[in-house]
């Protein structure tokens, strides 16, 4: 098989490497010349993806994977499968900006050949493949959809840092616009994946499956946050409650936290609501989770009183530990809420230098004393922090349950956890 993978990001590049590792010829396309250059040297353009550097070096050296910037030319050279994984950019309210995805589909359509199957893995609102992607490909190519070429939707279901493991573990969902197109998509994905490739019966079903699994997580986290806030009022340790509830097989309550960030969980429920605007639970869950950074500041103020004029350190601007990504990070809302209350927020993150923090809109912490600390990201290094590392601190809100509270209690510094029920 000859395949083209468009957008060599943290999902697209491992997929391209996976296809090549299975013995196929792959052309990866990306508009970033740095990415193209590094891939053609067999080097990963980003850190932290387990196994990628080794696989990439192998498949590039063997000539099974190469990269280029011209998507149209790569597709026009002929390919059985084109996999598109461009980002669907969203605004602060998670409303889609289609410009990047549309540009990629235009480039693919301009080179599309008879017999090619185009698989979109970018998460989209229900109906996008049928009403937007396929007609756009047909217009640009002059070909007839579901006769000359096929369009399928196959959502990425992987976690950054462990993409190869997830590709080998979770069923790959494929939904087509026709029975023949779906069967072809299943055949092509089965040629490079060991995991089950599951036909969904329609592109819409595959689109909804992706939105369902991410919306479930958002709703579940919101429920945990509701329980946690009640536990704080009632003097109950919500961790003990959740552990007890989950000790039988019918309960799978997630954990509360300071924020829900990332490209997926805060965004895809909005895509679902775009498809089903009358839905109530996803909207309520979004509102609950979006309020958690302000609640964390409430807890800090409960320990310190009026925060006006106080220096408060935000630990971690990444949306989660170990990942250098700030998409919808709770750090932004924490900063804004602290400023609203007259505090002086500063930030630190082991993955970002001072210039990068300033570019994100944060004042870097210079090590001077701070009155309060809010832990926003669960970086592994934070587990080793002690009072000596946080001069002047009088109270901490650990939004990710990563600090050792006893280490700070010995110095008389309270560490509040959301839902601990203890002041």
Residue 423 has a pLDDT of 57
CA 423, CA 421: separation in Å to the nearest integer? 7
| Residue ranges in the chain modelled with pLDDT below 50 | none
CA 147, CA 94: separation in Å to the nearest integer? 35
For 10-68, write each residue's pLDDT tens digit: 999 999 999 999 999 999 999 999 999 999 999 999 988 999 999 999 999 999 999 99
CA 419, CA 248: separation in Å to the nearest integer? 21
Residue 422 has a pLDDT of 73
Q: For residue 380, what is the DSSP state?
A: G
Specify whether the CB–CB gap between 205 and 175 falls below 8 A: yes
CA 183, CA 202: separation in Å to the nearest integer? 11
Cα–Cα–Cα angle for 64, 68, 69, rounded to 5 degrees: 155
Residues 6+ apart with CB under 8 A from 38: 44, 45
The verdict on domain 2-202 having CATH code 3.40.50.720 is yes
Structure tokens at 49: 């993806």
Specify whether the CB–CB gap between 218 and 289 falls below 8 A: yes
Report the length, in residues, of the chain: 423
Q: In the chain, what are the domain boundaries? A: 2-202, 234-423
CATH architecture entry for 234-423: 3-Layer(aba) Sandwich (3.40)
Specify whether the CB–CB gap between 41 and 24 falls below 8 A: no
Indicate if 234-423 has the same CATH topology as 2-202. Answer: yes
| Other beta carbons less than 10 A from residue 366's beta carbon | 8
């Amino acid at each position: 098989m000859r395949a083209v993978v468009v957008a060599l990001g943290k999902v697209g590049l491992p997929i391209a490497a996976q296809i090549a590792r299975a013995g196929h010829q792959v052309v990866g396309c990306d508009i970033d010349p740095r990415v193209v250059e590094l891939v053609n040297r067999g080097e990963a353009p980003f850190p932290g993806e387990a196994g990628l550097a080794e696989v990439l070096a192998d498949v590039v050296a063997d000539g099974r994977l190469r990269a280029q910037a011209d998507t149209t030319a790569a597709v026009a050279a002929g390919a059985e499968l084109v996999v598109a994984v461009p980002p669907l950019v969203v605004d602060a309210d998670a409303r889609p900006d289609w410009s990047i995805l549309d540009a990629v589909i235009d480039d693919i359509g301009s080179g599309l050949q008879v017999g090619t199957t185009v698989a979109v893995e970018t998460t989209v609102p229900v109906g996008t493949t049928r009403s937007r992607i396929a007609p756009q490909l047909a217009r640009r190519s002059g070909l007839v959809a579901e006769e000359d070429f096929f369009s399928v939707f196959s959502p990425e279901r992987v976690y950054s840092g462990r993409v190869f493991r997830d590709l080998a573990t979770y069923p790959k969902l494929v939904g087509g616009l026709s029975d023949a197109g779906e069967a072809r998509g299943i055949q092509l994905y089965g040629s490079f994946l060991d995991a089950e490739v599951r036909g969904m019966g329609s592109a819409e079903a595959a689109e909804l499956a992706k939105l369902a699994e991410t919306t479930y997580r958002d709703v579940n986290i919101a429920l945990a946050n509701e329980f946690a806030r009640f536990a704080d009022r009632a003097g109950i340790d919500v961790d003990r409650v959740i552990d007890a509830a989950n000790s039988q097989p019918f309960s799978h309550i997630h954990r509360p936290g300071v924020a829900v960030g990332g490209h997926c969980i805060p965004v895809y429920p909005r895509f679902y609501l775009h498809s089903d605007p009358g839905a109530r639970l996803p909207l309520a869950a979004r509102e609950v989770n979006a309020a958690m950074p302000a609640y964390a500041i409430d807890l800090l103020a409960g320990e310190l009183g009026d925060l006006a004029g106080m220096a408060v350190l935000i630990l971690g601007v990444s949306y989660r530990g170990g990942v250098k990504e700030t998409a919808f990070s709770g750090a932004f809302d924490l900063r804004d809420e602290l400023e609203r209350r007259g505090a002086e927020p500063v930030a630190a993150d082991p993955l970002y230098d001072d210039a990068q923090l300033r570019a994100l809109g944060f004042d870097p912490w210079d090590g001077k004393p701070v009155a309060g600390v809010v832990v926003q990201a669960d970086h592994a290094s934070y587990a080793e922090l002690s009072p000596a590392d946080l001069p002047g601190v009088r109270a901490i809100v650990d939004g990710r349950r990563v600090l050792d509270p006893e280490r700070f209690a010995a110095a008389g510094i309270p560490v509040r956890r959301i839902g601990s029920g203890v002041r």
